[in-house]
């Protein structure tokens, strides 16, 4: 198949960027979207031109590294997948596709489609953990967690930190990312002890990074490749208000 790509090219964080158009022919429908970018880069590099820089690593939808806006949608036209899981069979021969980096002031562009998401690490660092020191811990089965609670905690813990929620949100809010970790740990008995301190510190850090507020449009959930629910945001708000009222 043949595709026309409008790709955002930007030399560095401070340089001015612009769209550049490339036409690729003889593509196979079973190729992944990122393998198509590999083909483009091979053509560019063998001609001595600078390749398109994009984030990627595991190429199986679990590391959370990849992520671009494809025709205005985070991770492309199919729901519930990351960019690396998108295949060309989701497009038609002759399509024109616009490829941009995730857009958010908190995710500055590094080069072309590659962005800086270190704000997420700082939110986790502020309190996204259970302060259990390593090396010794009580017998695992001494903490009973019912099947349903464990499954629910897993649903929250499934976040891969890709940032599609932020890129999709009109406010650039990181509420879904932050709340997923808060809920994951707050749902588990071993995480309850620090629940109040945790939520306050993480929300403070989220605000400090400059992420916008959540106005409940739920666009984040619709674009989340892992299907993380906005109910996590409700739990975050509940935990946060409780902490403010009762003291962290």
CA atoms of 171 and 242, how far apart (whole Å): 25
Q: Give the residue ranges of DSSP H helices in the chain.
A: 33-46, 118-127, 147-157, 164-168, 175-187, 189-192, 195-209, 219-223, 231-246
Q: Minimum distance between the CB of residue 9 and another protein, rounded to whole angstroms?
A: 13
Q: Minimum distance between the CB of residue 239 and another protein, rounded to whole angstroms?
A: 15
Shorter beta-carbon distance to another protein: residue 3 or 160: 160
CA atoms of 98 and 89, how far apart (whole Å): 17
Phi/psi of residue 218, each to 5°?
70, 15
Shorter beta-carbon distance to another protein: residue 28 or 215: 28
CA atoms of 20 and 14, how far apart (whole Å): 18
Shorter beta-carbon distance to another protein: residue 148 or 245: 148
Q: Minimum distance between the CB of residue 199 and another protein, rounded to whole angstroms?
A: 15
Q: Minimum distance between the CB of residue 103 and another protein, rounded to whole angstroms?
A: 17
CA atoms of 55 and 72, how far apart (whole Å): 17
Shorter beta-carbon distance to another protein: residue 120 or 240: 120
């Amino acid at each position: 198949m043949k595709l026309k790509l409008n790709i955002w090219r930007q030399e560095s964080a401070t340089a001015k960027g612009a769209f550049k158009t490339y036409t690729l022919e003889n593509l196979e429908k079973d190729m992944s979207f990122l393998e198509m970018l590999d083909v483009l880069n091979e053509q560019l590099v063998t001609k001595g031109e600078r390749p398109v820089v994009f984030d990627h690593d595991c190429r199986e939808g679990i590391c959370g590294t990849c992520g671009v806006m494809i025709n205005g949608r985070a991770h492309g036209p199919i729901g519930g997948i990351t960019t690396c899981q998108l295949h060309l069979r989701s497009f038609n021969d002759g399509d024109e596709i616009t490829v941009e980096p995730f857009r958010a002031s908190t995710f500055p562009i590094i080069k072309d489609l590659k962005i800086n998401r270190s704000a997420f690490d700082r939110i986790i660092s502020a309190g996204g953990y259970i302060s259990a020191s390593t090396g010794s811990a009580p017998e695992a089965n001494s903490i009973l967690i019912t099947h349903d609670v464990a499954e629910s905690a897993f649903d929250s813990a499934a976040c891969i930190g890709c940032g599609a929620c932020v890129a999709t949100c009109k406010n650039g809010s990181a509420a879904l990312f932050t709340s997923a970790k808060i809920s994951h740990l707050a749902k588990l008995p071993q995480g309850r002890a620090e629940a109040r301190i945790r939520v306050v510190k993480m929300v403070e850090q989220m605000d400090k990074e400059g992420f916008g507020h959540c106005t409940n449009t739920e666009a984040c959930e619709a674009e989340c490749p892992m299907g993380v629910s906005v109910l996590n945001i409700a739990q975050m708000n509940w935990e946060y208000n409780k902490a403010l009222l009762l003291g962290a």
